[in-house]
Structure 1
Amino acid sequence: MTTLYHNPRCSKSRQALQLLEEEGETIEIVKYLENPPTHQELKQVIELLGIDPIKLVRTQEPDWRENYKGKNLTNEEVIDAMIQHPKLIERPIAIKGTHAVVGRPPERVLDIL
Structure 2
Amino acid sequence: MTVRIYHNPRCSKSRQTLKLIEDNNASAEIVEYLKTPPDAKTLGKLLDMLGLQPRDLMRKKETEYKESGADNPDLSRDQLIALMIEYPKLIERPIVVNNGKAVIGRPPERVLDIL
Into which bin does the TM-score normalised by the smaller protein fall? over 0.9
Q: Indicate the RMSD between aligned Cα atoms, in angstroms.
A: 0.9
Tell me how far 1:59 sits from its aligned partner.
0.7
Q: Distance in 2 between matches of 1:31 and 1:66?
A: 23
Deviations 1:31-66 (A, max 9, x none): 000111111111111111111111100011101122
Q: Hey, what does 2:78 align to over in structure 1?
A: 76
Question: Matched residues in 1 for 2:33 and 2:68: separation?
Answer: 20
Q: Which amino acid in 2 is paired with 1:31?
A: E
**Aligned residue runs from structure 1 range 6-17, under 5 A:** 6-17=7-18
The whole-number CA distance in structure 2 between the counterparts of 1:67 and 1:29 is 27
Which of these residues, 92, 100, 111, is aligned with residue 109 of structure 1? 111
Deviations along 1:69-88, whole A, 9 cap, x unmatched?
Answer: 24421111110110000000
The size of the alignment, in residue pairs, is 113
Q: 1:55 and 2:56 equivalent?
A: yes
Instruction: Give me the whole-angstrom Cα distance separating, in 2, the residues matched to 1:70 and 1:42.
Output: 20
Identical-residue share of aligned pairs (%): 48
TM-score when scaled to structure 2? 0.94
State the 4+ residue runs in structure 1 displaced beyond 4 angstroms: none
Q: Distance in 1 between matches of 2:93 and 2:106?
A: 8
